[in-house]
Copies of this chain bind each other. A is one copy, B any other.
Amino acid sequence: MPAKSLFDPSGIAVVGASKTPGKIGYEAMQNAIRFDGPVYPVNPSAEGTVMDREFVSSVTEIDGPVDLALCCVPAPIVPDVIDECAEAGIGGAVIFAGGFAEAGPEGQQLQDRIVETALEGDVSVLGPNTSGFLVPGSDLHATFATDVEHVPAGNVAIVAQSGGLAYALAFRSENEDRGVSAMVGLGNRATVGFEEAIEYFDGDEATDAIVLHVEGSDDARSLLETCEAVDTPIVAYNVGEHDVGEFAESHTGALTGSYELYEAGFAQYGVPTVGSSQELLDAGNALADCPEPDGPNVGVVTAQAGPGIAIADRLQALGATLPDLTPETQEVVEEILPGITFSDNPVDTGRPMPEFGDVVTAVAEDENVDVVLVYELYEAALGYPTDAVETVVEDLEVPIVFGTAGPNEVLEEEVAELEALGVPTFRTPERAADAVGGLVQYARRNRKPRTAAEETEVSR
């Protein structure tokens, strides 16, 4: 597992470390020193100390454990730094600089030289042209970006082709009181690509789901086969349905125009896909928190019809099935709530009431139901059916996703209780449906026989 040097290092070298605030070598240094391990500033033309650590002239001169180098130097110097990393036995390097494959033939040559050294010298290279990665759980902030210390530890790993999008996702997750097990911007993928990152985080105990941002990787089949081979649930956001070709190419040097290929491939290999960064996080959180559903059949319980209809509509658009409840369940529901507004699926209780939780449990127990989605506008006098939700999660082991609305200051404590039970809770009806959509796609993954035509599609 070579990527271990990158994502779980014993010590860090900051190559091109600087005393000048604003410089990449300063910002990276400031982030690096939060790490609970030795951090060495490397700069042949600097003397003295920076942030209380003495400058070293080369990575080969470091006297101590170090297996991650953060390269804060311009593109032309990078190949020599990677040579030295190989010589020093440093197994992981992050290259921030642009000016490689994405910048034309000369940059490509420079990148080729790096790849050659890296492969020979067993250096896992993240980048070039990346803003790095975060592993908040070990205070490992391998980046020059600021404010990253706010991103808390969580159970979802973000693996993004674009560093910018990776940060946007990580901050979004922070703002929703979640967090990430890791955030990786792949950039040009010299030697660490989707496959290497996915394999590493599949083996990471803190990671319960992996979310991918894909702009058009170089080797579709390899990515898809990796997704299929690992045990950790994966969901993908595949960008580029419309023509953004020239711009995208200038970005991470990727082949573009492969949108349809990827969509077909993900479908074939059973990788759930989504259409936006918010959906990516939401589906990822549901896959990370919920037990795996036995199938795509969703039972919806709602305390308000309008959101329930929006949910039922969207779930069907996402490929979920809303099965009829068994006559026994319908009887139980009608016994709990005589004259209930609607006792089939969705079950609409008309308003929340003390028996709401019993209805949720009854639907979760229905043999036709694989996943439960509950929607309830918050009413302070009543709260959420937290006890019933706990039963569904812990005793019945049925995945349950919650949707709600209300003033933050009124409901945030109770939402936190639901989340602590492992129940992803969303603030719009459609986001709850989208999250369930991820679970449903995942449940379907082993059910779709591959056709010869699909095989052809992906190997094109």
Residues of B within 8 A of A145 (CB): 377, 379
Residues of B within 8 A of A248 (CB): 305, 309
Which one of A4-12, A61-69, A159-167, A264-272 is at the interface? A159-167
A460 to chain B, nearest CB (A): 22
Q: CB of A229 within 8 A of chain B?
A: no
Q: CB of A455 within 8 A of chain B?
A: no
Q: Are A313 and B278 neighbours in the complex by a CB distance under 8 Å?
A: no
Residues of B within 8 A of A312 (CB): 242, 244, 247
A288 to chain B, nearest CB (A): 19
Q: CB of A323 within 8 A of chain B?
A: no
A214 to chain B, nearest CB (A): 11
Q: CB of A243 within 8 A of chain B?
A: yes
- Report copies per complex: 2
Q: CB of A71 within 8 A of chain B?
A: no
Q: CB of A429 within 8 A of chain B?
A: yes
User: What 1/0 flags go to A188-224 for Cβ under 8 Å of B?
Assistant: 0000000000000000000000000101000000000
Q: CB of A146 within 8 A of chain B?
A: yes
Q: Are A309 and B251 neighbours in the complex by a CB distance under 8 Å?
A: yes
Q: Are A306 and B213 neighbours in the complex by a CB distance under 8 Å?
A: yes
Most buried by B among A161, A252, A275, A309: A309
Q: Are B277 and A407 neighbours in the complex by a CB distance under 8 Å?
A: no
Expressed in whole angstroms, the Cα–Cα distance for A317 and B241 within the complex equals: 8
A residues contacting the other copy or chain, number (CB 8 A) = 74
Q: A150-B410, A278-B428 are in contact. Are A247 and B405 (CB under 8 A)?
A: no
Q: Are A342 and B247 neighbours in the complex by a CB distance under 8 Å?
A: yes
Q: Which of B171, B215, B308, B314 contacts A306 (CB 8 A)?
A: B215
Q: A239-B313, A381-B22 are in contact. Are A160 and B306 (CB under 8 A)?
A: yes
Q: Are B171 and A405 neighbours in the complex by a CB distance under 8 Å?
A: yes
- Ranked 5 nearest A-B pairs via Cβ: A162-B306, A164-B304, A165-B306, A150-B407, A242-B316
A-B residue pairs in contact (CB < 8 Å), sample of 14? A147-B406, A162-B306, A162-B307, A164-B304, A164-B377, A165-B304, A165-B307, A172-B428, A239-B310, A242-B312, A248-B309, A250-B341, A275-B430, A277-B430
